[in-house]
Amino acid sequence: MKGFSIIVCSYNGSLRISKVIKFLTQLKVSNFHFEIIIVDNNSNDDTFNVAFQAALLVDKIKIHVIKEEKPGKANALIAGFKQASFDYLVICDDDNHLNENYLVVAETIFLENPQIGIIGGKGILPDDYQLPQWFHIHENAWAIGNQHSFSGEIIGEFPSVWGAGMLIRKSVWNQLIDNGFSSFLTGKKTSKVKMAGEDTELCILVNSIGYGIYYDERLTYTHALPSSRITWNHLLNMKIGFTRSQVYFEYYVMYLDGQLKTRDVFKRHVTKNLFQSFYLFFSGYNTINYYKTIFIAFVENREGYQLGIDKRNQITRILELCKIVIRLKSIYAVFRNFKYDCY
């Protein structure tokens, strides 16, 4: 059915969800309709009831409020996608306020580019935020700023856009399901810091079945981040999550390119990668600067210190590769389950 299904996944979002619903009901439309699907993702606050009461106050726009007991945004998205009635799916976080023309612009892009499966937009912060000096260097970690240098289809071996404000054709999502889609990132986590990247994973799989990934800077949304999340330690945790996921994405792409035709080949690649990562982390261990870097990064934890992020990422990569070695069989089975050669 022609229109948009907007999926809002919320964990403990009782203080944010009413405002998001208000902004969404103000979106402009042309010759299409839209619905809103609120997914309470295993919250332990009053998110569900607040969303339900807010929905009762809205006329003309259909709002569904559902629960997903399995934690993790990927699980919440799958639940929301199952509920969706319209041709295009929109991922809107509970602190994203979409520009009023968001759907109108997106419809034009989809209609003019039938080969495009996913579209991404640009996040901006409210004007009154007080930001640390290092923020703009790392703003993409919070889904803020330009995702690419120009609007249009993203060309390259690793095209992706972030999940905040992402749009996907429902027909493409259904094709993923028909082809054996299984999100690795919905699996059991083996770290206190969760993996991130269900958005990148989705882009990789959509691209693998022949659809393009598109970015358009006209698709803007305000990201109303709580100030408590704009901290150096929060950035470090996000970077660890990104690095954990990045390891698996590299092997996704290698599998797509036909480089991992057997499990033994996969094991050899992982082992080689592990040794290279060890070498990179300990490179320069016999110099004073190496130990100075380690001290500043891990003991002092100096705010804004880029080498500190780099060293943490290197350690995270080593630990994740070790986990892959242990779980090699099950991880390779995830790759094999999906029919990548379906087009």
Using one digit for the tens of pLDDT, what is the confidence trace for 292-305? Answer: 999 999 999 999 99
- At residue 132, the 3 state secondary structure works out as coil
Q: Which residues, 6+ apart, have CB-to-CB distance to 286 below 8 Å?
A: none
For range 16-45, the mean pLDDT? 96
Start-to-end C-alpha separation, the chain: 25
343, pLDDT greater than 50: no
Stretch 54-61: mean pLDDT: 94
Local confidence band at 38 (pLDDT 50, 70, 90 cut-offs): very high
pLDDT > 50? residue 332? yes
Give the pLDDT band (50/70/90) at residue 187: very low
pLDDT recorded at residue 342: 39
- Residue 128: per-residue pLDDT: 82
At 74 the pLDDT is 84
Burial grade of 155 (CB within 10 A; 0-12, 13-18, 19 or more): exposed
pLDDT tens sequence across 73-125: 888 999 999 999 999 999 999 999 999 999 999 999 999 999 999 999 999 99
Give residue 188's pLDDT.
38
Predicted TM-score (pTM) above 0.85: yes
Comparing C-alpha atoms, which of 266, 247, 157 is closest to residue 208?
157
For the chain, give the mean pLDDT. 91
| pLDDT (mean) for 174-184 | 78
Give me the pLDDT at residue 335, please: 80
Asked if 201 contacts 184 with a C-beta cutoff of 8 angstroms, the reply is yes
- Asked whether residue 315 carries a pLDDT value surpassing 70, the answer given is yes
Q: What is the model's pLDDT at position 156?
A: 82
61/35 Cα distance (integer angstroms) = 6
Instruction: Report the alpha-carbon distance of residue 64 to residue 61 in Å, rounded.
Output: 10
3-state secondary structure 117-129: EEEEEEEECCCCC
